[in-house]
Each structure stands twice: as C-alpha cells, then as structure tokens.
Amino acid sequence: MDESIPLALTVNGLYSMGNRYLQADLNTFSVKRVYGVTVLTSIFSDGEVPSKDGLVLSATSVDRQFGSILNGLHISSCKVGYLPNLDLITAVEQACRNRSVGPVVLDPILFDETGASILDDTAFSKYVNDLIPLANVITPTIEEAEKIVGFEITSDDDVIHAANELRGIGVQNVLIKGSNEHQGRDNIRDYVLLEDGDDFWLTDKHAPFSQPSGKDDALSACITAELANGQKTENAIRTAKEFITDATRNVLQVGDSIESINFWS
C-alpha cells in the first residue's frame, strides 16, 4: 500500500444496518480520503445497545486484531468507541499504551438505550483512570461528562468546569457535545477546551428534523480522520463540526427504516 495514504483505526462495534458505530466511522474515513482499518469489539443484531442477542468479542480476539493490523501498517490516528466490559477496556488500553496507534480520539458510549449504565463500577473505574488519560481528544455528551466527573451539568459554567475536570484526569483536549435537554432546541452548543488552555463554543442552529443515527459516531470519526490527514487538533475539531452540521441537514433515507446522516453531503 502507498505509505502516503493516511491510515486510521476504529475500535468499535458492528451494526449491520450501516448507519452507526464502526460503519459510520468507515464511511466518514472514506469521505475524508483516509483508509480505514478496524478492531471489532462486538456485533449488534438489532438497534439496541447492548444488543439482546448480539455478540461481545473476547479480549484475546481484540488483542489479535490489534496485532494483525499493527504488525504491518503504520496507523496515523485511532478512534475508540464501544467497549462494554472490563476485559475489552483493558485490552484496548494496553494496545493503545504499548503500540503505535497515533493520537487517540475517545468517543465514550456509557449508557444503553434506556439510559442505564453499560459498565459496572470496576469497568467504569478502569475506563476513567487508565483509558481516558491516553486520549488526545475525548467527545462525551453532557450526560456522559456528568457520569465521568461526578456532578450535574446545568449551566455553561458547569460545562466549563466539567471540561477542566476531564483535563485533570489526563485527556489532552475535550469536546463536550450539547443537547436539546440541557440547552434548548435552538441553542445547541458544543464546548471545546484545548491542551494549550484555549477554549471556545461551537454553535449551530438545530436542524428542523429529528437527528439521525450516527451523528456522534461520525463527529469523532471525522476528528480522527482529520488528525490522520495531519491537521492540528483545533482544526480537526472545527472541520468535524462543519462536516456533521452539513451531514445532519441533508439526511439519507435508506429503504423504509433507516435514517442516516448524509456522509457525502
């Protein structure tokens, strides 16, 4: 393979409909002219997280996937998504710590479709104390940020405080994603705190339709792709925000049941 082609790795679950998780990552990488490689952590047989009759792969399988990829390829950046248990968190943390995967973009997936926590206390502690400090960028929702920092976020000052707490854990750059529930439909803003202390809000008027699946996946994947392309972190985040804004304003209707962001918008 031509070494001039940037390679990005996504560590995520597989959702067969193609509009979420690993497939959303790969679609985004492709649009950004980045070659995507994968470490699969689980298979979802339906739209629920965790899937009722899906499959969670073993830590041994995940470690072997890392080995097969990293023994022959130079990875420019890495996104980490769905990790449902302690064994997988440990395997991915060790791979990211001990192997060359480039800057890590961590997209936390901490709650299932009902709002219940996916991780038990031991796994969550491992996630916070050992995996988060390895990340170049973390992209939690407000709810995920609340769980990680341990306090409720109800104001802009709380968002800023939470971002600083995340920096205190060890992550270099923080993007906290806004939401309808916390900011109102017409005032959704993401907050960014960079490694050098610079910070800013990214504001976008909410699109006049329900947000399609894959939005958060593609946002973090786009940051990962831009880092693989050699962009600085701030530029990668700003470009990803523009990408996802366009992609959610021009949604795709795939068949009768799938609403997806438009990766090619």
Tens digit of each residue's pLDDT (9 = 90 or more) over 55-80: 999 999 999 999 999 998 999 999 99
pLDDT of residue 193: 99
Residue 265 in any domain: the answer is no
Task: Quickly state the pLDDT bin for 4 (edges 50, 70, 90).
Answer: confident
Residue 176 in any domain: the answer is yes
Q: How many CB atoms lie within 10 A of CB 236?
A: 25
Query: Could you give the C-alpha distances from 186 to 49, 167, 182, in angstroms and in order?
Result: 28, 28, 11
Compute the Cα dihedral for 85, 88, 91, 92 and give only its sign: negative
Q: What is the mean pLDDT of residues 238-255?
A: 88
Q: Identify the burial level of 2 via C-beta atoms within 10 angstroms of its C-beta, where 0-12 means exposed, 13-18 middle and 19 or more buried.
A: exposed
Residue 1 in any domain: the answer is no
What is the rounded CA–CA span in Å between residue 199 and residue 260? 31
pLDDT of residue 248: 86
Residue 249 in any domain: the answer is yes
pLDDT of residue 265: 79
Task: Quickly state the pLDDT bin for 122 (edges 50, 70, 90).
Answer: very high
> What amino acid is encoded at 10 in this protein?
T
Q: What is the mean pLDDT of residues 82-111?
A: 97
pLDDT of residue 250: 80
Compute the Cα dihedral for 165, 170, 173, 178 and give only its sign: negative
Residue 169 in any domain: the answer is yes
What is the domain extent for residue 97?
7-260
Q: Output the domain CATH number for residue 171.
A: 3.40.1190.20
For residues 236 and 136, is the Cβ–Cβ distance under 8 A?
no
Q: Of 250, 211, 172, 243, whose CA–CA distance to 28 is shortest?
A: 243
Residue 57 in any domain: the answer is yes
Task: Quickly state the pLDDT bin for 134 (edges 50, 70, 90).
Answer: very high
Q: What is the mean pLDDT of the chain?
A: 91
Query: Given a cut of 90, is residue 182 above it in pLDDT?
Result: no
Residue 154 in any domain: the answer is yes
pLDDT of residue 118: 95
What is the rounded CA–CA span in Å between residue 118 and residue 114? 10
Q: How many domains does the chain have?
A: 1
